[in-house]
Amino acid sequence: MTPLWITDADVERLLSVEEAVPMVEAALRQQAAGAATNMPRGHTIAGPGVMLAHMAAALHEEGVFGFKVYSIVDGKYQFFVLLYSVDSGDLLAVLEANRLGRRRTGAASGVSAKYMAREDSAEVGILGSGFQADAQLEAICSVRPIERVRVYSRNAENRDGFARRMAETLGIEVVAVDTPREAVESADILVTITNSRTPVFEGAWLRPGTHVCAVGGANEYVTELDDTTIRRADFIAVDSIAQARIECGELLMPASRGLLLWEQVSEFWQVVGGMKTGRRANDDITLFKSLGMAMWDVAAAKVVYDKYKNLH
């Protein structure tokens, strides 16, 4: 059979952030039940400024497996997902995966807010206003009764534009602020979605009960979080410990200094599957470190593939 070619425009049309949240949750439940497998990301260096990243997964209940691959050449990223049938081994589709990746990444933060943030969470602080930030906020607002958002990023024009755009999209108060502290200190849920190589806020600013979604960094030498945030966290979950031990500077750096034991870190599927409680008390500070899983990409690709087939 000839595989389908599915573009970013098709993904934009066929998969919303709100739809992606239960999709990611279902994939995590399958992982908890032993019906899904995920392989951590690997990297192939092809020359100065040239890298190929690859990650694979299988969703047995959905009858699909596949992998995500993306190239980085002089700072330019190109993302693709290849989706296969478990039954036949046929390549079903090749999907452009820029928008798909944004939606599944935002959806994962939404699922973390559902399981780890307080049910009455009303305010989000977000540090970063780039291309990933919209989906983060949309997903969180789909699972919690958010009334206010404070956004900070270094580029005043970007953060002002983000605030106007998201206020119109979500119908809630979204305010651009002048300092990171203004976004952090009153937040019930805090999202960090930056490209910073160093901590973007002080952990002492977090108020009791905050849920932190750290999404920006995926590099062993990069951390958006300071040591105080790690020390104050009552519960820490990652999408994959195997992957975190390769490329999660937020945890690798504190662990190297003896500030954290890997035994203190849980995997997200354990929370969604009910094996562990993501929040034990209202005053707990909880942390979800998101690195991204191929399992989510394959799940999203399957949803888009099914919709695309039904329309053509």
**Which amino acid, 168?**
E
Per-position b or e across 131-167, b if 16+ CB within 10 A of its CB: ebbbbbbbbbbbbbebeebbbbbeeeebbeebbeebe
154 Cβ neighbours under 8 A, 6+ residues apart: none
Please list the residues that pair with 213 across neighbouring strands: 191, 288
Please list the residues that pair with 55 across neighbouring strands: 68
Active-site annotation holder among 68, 114, 289, 302: 68
Under 8 Å between Cβ of 249 and 223 = yes
Where does residue 311 rank: exposed (0-12), middle (13-18), buried (19+ CB within 10 A)?
Answer: exposed
Examine the residue annotation and report whether 302 is marked as an active-site residue of this protein.
Answer: no
Catalytic residues, by residue number, are 68
